[in-house]
Amino acid sequence: MAFLKKDLPKRSENLSDWYNKVVLMAELADYGPAKGTMIYRPYGFAIWELIQKEMDAIIKEKGVSNAYFPLFIPESLLKKEETHIKGFSPELAVVTIGGGEELKEKLIVRPTSETIMYDAYSRWIHSWRDLPLMINQWNNAVRWEKRTYMFLRTTEFLWQEGHTVHSTHEEAWNMVVWAMDMYKKVYRELFALPGYVGRKSRAETFAGADTSISYESLMPGGKALQSCTSHDLGQNFSKAFEITFQNKEGKNEYAWQTSWGLSTRSIGGMIMAHGDDGGLRLPPRLAPIQVIILPIKAEAALIDTAEKIKAELKKHGVRVQIDASENESIGFRINTWELKGVPLRLEIGTKELAEEKVTAVRRDTGEKIAVPLNELKTTISTLLDAIQANLLAQAEQFLKDNTHTANSYDELKQIMATSRGFISALWCEQEACEKKIKEETKASTRCMPLDSKEENGACVGCGNPTEHRWMFGQSY
Amino acid sequence: MAFLKKDLPKRSENLSDWYNKVVLMAELADYGPAKGTMIYRPYGFAIWELIQKEMDAIIKEKGVSNAYFPLFIPESLLKKEETHIKGFSPELAVVTIGGGEELKEKLIVRPTSETIMYDAYSRWIHSWRDLPLMINQWNNAVRWEKRTYMFLRTTEFLWQEGHTVHSTHEEAWNMVVWAMDMYKKVYRELFALPGYVGRKSRAETFAGADTSISYESLMPGGKALQSCTSHDLGQNFSKAFEITFQNKEGKNEYAWQTSWGLSTRSIGGMIMAHGDDGGLRLPPRLAPIQVIILPIKAEAALIDTAEKIKAELKKHGVRVQIDASENESIGFRINTWELKGVPLRLEIGTKELAEEKVTAVRRDTGEKIAVPLNELKTTISTLLDAIQANLLAQAEQFLKDNTHTANSYDELKQIMATSRGFISALWCEQEACEKKIKEETKASTRCMPLDSKEENGACVGCGNPTEHRWMFGQSY
């Protein structure tokens, strides 16, 4: 890895250029050879592993089991739910040759697993005693993209997809909300990314769902990122796949279903939201390396102290590494680890060693703190917590500063032409109106916040009567 | 789940019929809708998760990082190493349509990731400082199969594949051996499956490798199962993909590479090796449920005690569940958990409760042990260890009893016609001879044990001079 800081475009000047470069330079990812594909390099994949570890524990605690369903879905199966196949057909990758022969039936590389899972569910579920059936999988999925926007838009992505079956709609809806609550917790506490939770408009609802709810976060430049979704599938799939159960009264009923997913796209949002002109700023809870120790020079006493500090911090669960590369200057090494977004840097020089201190430098603020060696453990832990909290606070301030209210179409246009961000406005919930607003202003409906109160008024786009206030924004 | 024990064929009478049924009845897996595919159900997938957790820690401890490379390999890339594509081309699944359009270049669904990884490695490696590069991935891979033999032969399987690059052949070879040592440890300590480690013959070497070593274990009926492999790739791929590095003297050299993998096939071997007429017998270290608590009747006092025991065992890291289903008799419940192979069953009846005891029943031996409640923690832990050790001891005895020596072709034929098993015999290492033996006796070369001493003599098949003694056996 040899790069110069000057090779990194300024985030403040050209966001997408900065993004593409920082992902490569920080060695988070690389382009794959097929169009639209990406390689998750160890540093980037380690972030996903941290997300998986935390979420997997929450999912299991809820009583959801992990399983693994096949990658290949026979075309006929994918076609069983009409809206579903309509939604996904433009994005499919299709296997037509297997074992050297043209296949009689094409196989679709899973874009999502509703159909292949529910085909099995229909065989497994017979009685109310088999419910709820709650399964999650961590896997890869494929939705065709011509251009790669690493993490954010790729032909293949990694995710978890939860798929549950319930005996009542109420229980299913509680699951939809439970999943979104989990995502919200994970986004806030791990990613340090606040957002709005709400119901998607009809046009933006998942293909095959009755209702979709999403977490919408805000990117620099004022664009909104749909960060994950949770779907109330109603009985749409249970009717298409004949998922019925005998209820306690001995009568057959169609089951109620949910599905919910969070993908590696979330990492893209985090990179974009927290980075700065110096590179990444990773929240400590998702940083593969939380503390980097830099001996100023390659001297035995400094390296020895570095090793001791590393051992002590490691013992207390801190993810820590030393960079004592002899062939790279201290300035170069500082730039490298700043670029890679390591939350805390510990510099050890001869003078500091004499005073039994190290200098801790915060990646989020640049602040330098002299830390006595005998207070290291507590101070590092406190500082990591402070950095995590500060990144969230900064993102919350940014979200607050960029959430606007538009009382007229002119106001909405005005906001979209300047700062963008989230725009709260009354909307009639008609698809034609939604389409017009998007074409004219680039703002689409992001969601109707779940706590949105009934509000009768005039639609911001067409003046027709409204029931609720919605969030608009330009989507990524 | 409703089945009767009588539905399970006897393992001793029809092994493959028993195997197919027990996998379904124990809810380890199910058939997928596309030919050759399978569904890993929660109970089966939980075994894989336990394997992953243990192996992932060992792999990381060695300094190997996890990453994720794309599923789709452009055909031209897969063709770069000649032997490699020759070996894999009959087994490929090919994507020809993407995003609604015929693709200009076909995409191969990865059968293994050498080519796609090494294409990136050639961009990432420049200097000796970049070496060793050691990456592992846990993913899915596809090799076409017309018939499904669950876990053992499936079109799609799950595995880990490690891919390392070194500056010397010696270092690479040490890695090949390190990986096999890890597998051996995992097979013996987790799977309770002993086996032979050795070099594969030329014909059985991985397509593109100089040398492959494998772990060969023994299945009931005397067939051998290749349980995992570790490959010395030499410079074959580094030359095809131009993976060069500048050495300390400033000269460019081709790098030395290894790859090694263990798949969900390993679970199939474990099911087959340890099961009995009653169903699975899972080794405690890989059992998703190590202890099942069965209150004899659905009485409050019994269920209450069951809950207390569960809480205590759980606190000490035991994977434990209660089955207090009111609608199923105790006999039915016992059969169920025997079939599912849970290592230890705790029965709680009114009489036992009065005596402050429970009855522990070992799945491996059927032995019943009265355990005072106040000794539960220690006794359970001791019993689980004893079961794990006993399964290994039984498998070792079986391997020993079924390892033969053949001093002539007639002896080899005789053994293959009766007990099968592993046959140690002198062999000339000529492909034609190997082929003839296989055709005439079904025995193929399994491996040349790594500690095999030089032994000059006459080949068991053709009488030509030999250098080593090899292991023969009928492969699964």
What's residue B3's pLDDT?
59
Check whether A82 has a pLDDT greater than 90. no
Alpha-carbon distance A91 to nearest alpha carbon in chain B (angstroms) = 5
Q: Residue B444 and residue B464: Cα distance in Å, rounded? A: 18
Hey, where are the domains in chain B?
5-274, 284-398, 403-475
Closest CA to B279 of B333, B334, B341: B341
- B-chain residues near A45 (CB < 8 A): 65-68
Residues B443-469, mean pLDDT to the nearest whole number: 94
- Chain A interface test: which of B61, B71, B101, B131 (most A C-beta within 10 Å): B71
Residues B240-245, mean pLDDT to the nearest whole number: 97
- Cis ω for the linkage preceding A132 (within 30 of 0): yes
What's residue A3's pLDDT?
59
- Which of A30, A65, A97 lies closest to B94 in CB terms? A97
- The answer to whether A216 touches A446, Cβ cutoff 8 Å, is yes
- A-chain residues near B97 (CB < 8 A): 92-94, 96, 106
Q: What is the pLDDT of residues B186-228, one digit of tens each?
A: 999 999 999 999 999 999 999 999 999 999 999 999 999 999 9
Residues B398-402, mean pLDDT to the nearest whole number: 97
- Chain B interface test: which of A27, A47, A50, A68 (most B C-beta within 10 Å): A68
**Domain spanning A5-274, CATH architecture:** 2-Layer Sandwich (3.30)
pLDDT band, very low/low/confident/very high, at B56 (cuts 50, 70, 90) = very high
Q: What is the pLDDT of residues A254-305, one digit of tens each?
A: 999 999 999 999 999 999 999 999 999 999 999 999 999 999 998 999 999 9
- Chain B interface test: which of A47, A91, A95 (most B C-beta within 10 Å): A95
CB contact under 8 A, B140 and A139: yes
- Which of B42, B96, B140 lies closest to A67 in CB terms? B42
3-state DSSP call for residue B384? helix
The share of chain A scoring above pLDDT 90, in percent, equals: 93
Residues A450-464, mean pLDDT to the nearest whole number: 93
Task: Name the class of domain A403-475.
Answer: alpha beta
- The answer to whether A226 touches A172, Cβ cutoff 8 Å, is no
Residues A79-100, mean pLDDT to the nearest whole number: 92
- Is residue A87 exposed (0-12), middle (13-18) or buried (19+ Cβ within 10 Å)? middle
Q: Residue A209 and residue A204: Cα distance in Å, rounded? A: 10
- A-chain residues near B42 (CB < 8 A): 65-67, 135
CB contact under 8 A, B39 and A77: no
Q: What tokens does B318 get?
A: 């035991």
The share of chain B scoring above pLDDT 70, in percent, equals: 99
What's residue A4's pLDDT?
65
What's residue A290's pLDDT?
98
Q: What is the pLDDT of residues A369-426, one digit of tens each?
A: 999 999 999 999 999 999 999 999 999 999 999 999 999 999 999 999 999 999 999 9
Alpha-helical segments (H) within B7-74: 15-25, 42-61
CB contact under 8 A, A73 and B33: yes
What's residue B383's pLDDT?
98
- B-chain residues near A65 (CB < 8 A): 42, 45-46
- A-chain residues near B72 (CB < 8 A): 32, 34, 37, 93, 142, 155-156
- Which of A94, A120, A155 lies closest to B39 in CB terms? A120
Check whether A2 has a pLDDT greater than 60. no
Check whether A146 has a pLDDT greater than 60. yes
**Domain spanning B284-398, CATH architecture:** 3-Layer(aba) Sandwich (3.40)
Q: Residue B367 and residue B34: Cα distance in Å, rounded? A: 43
Q: Residue B226 and residue B263: Cα distance in Å, rounded? A: 11
Check whether B157 has a pLDDT greater than 70. yes
* Residue whose pair of structure tokens reads 């109420």 in the numeric block: A170
Q: Which residues pair with B245 in a beta bridge?
A: B253
What's residue B476's pLDDT?
86
| Dihedral angle over CA of A83, A86, A89, A91, nearest 10 | -80
CB contact under 8 A, B98 and A155: yes
- A-chain residues near B95 (CB < 8 A): 93-96, 109
Q: Residue A345 and residue A3: Cα distance in Å, rounded? A: 19
Alpha-carbon distance A124 to nearest alpha carbon in chain B (angstroms) = 8
First to last CA, chain B: 30
Closest CA to A214 of A234, A201, A197: A197
Q: What is the pLDDT of residues A345-371, one digit of tens each?
A: 999 999 989 999 999 999 999 999 999
Mean pLDDT of chain B: 96
pLDDT band, very low/low/confident/very high, at A178 (cuts 50, 70, 90) = very high
- Which of A89, A90, A93 lies closest to B95 in CB terms? A93
- Is residue A224 exposed (0-12), middle (13-18) or buried (19+ Cβ within 10 Å)? buried
Mean pLDDT of chain A: 96
Which residue does chain A place closest to B325, by CA atoms? A129
Q: What is the pLDDT of residues A215-234, one digit of tens each?
A: 999 999 999 999 999 999 99
- A-chain residues near B144 (CB < 8 A): 98-100
CB contact under 8 A, A139 and B144: no
- Which of A65, A70, A95 lies closest to B95 in CB terms? A95
Which residue does chain B place closest to A144, by CA atoms? B99
- A-chain residues near B158 (CB < 8 A): 68
Question: What interface predicted TM-score (ipTM) does this complex get?
Answer: 0.96
Sign for the CA dihedral angle at A432, A438, A444, A448 comes to: negative
Q: What tokens does A428 get?
A: 């009639």
Check whether B1 has a pLDDT greater than 70. no
Q: Do A5-274 and A403-475 agree at the fold level?
A: no
Q: What is the pLDDT of residues A22-70, one digit of tens each?
A: 999 999 999 999 989 999 999 999 999 999 999 999 999 999 999 999 9
> In the Cβ-directed half-sphere of B219, how many Cα atoms lie within 13 Å?
23
Residue type, position B6, single letter: K
Q: What tokens does A292 get?
A: 């980097």
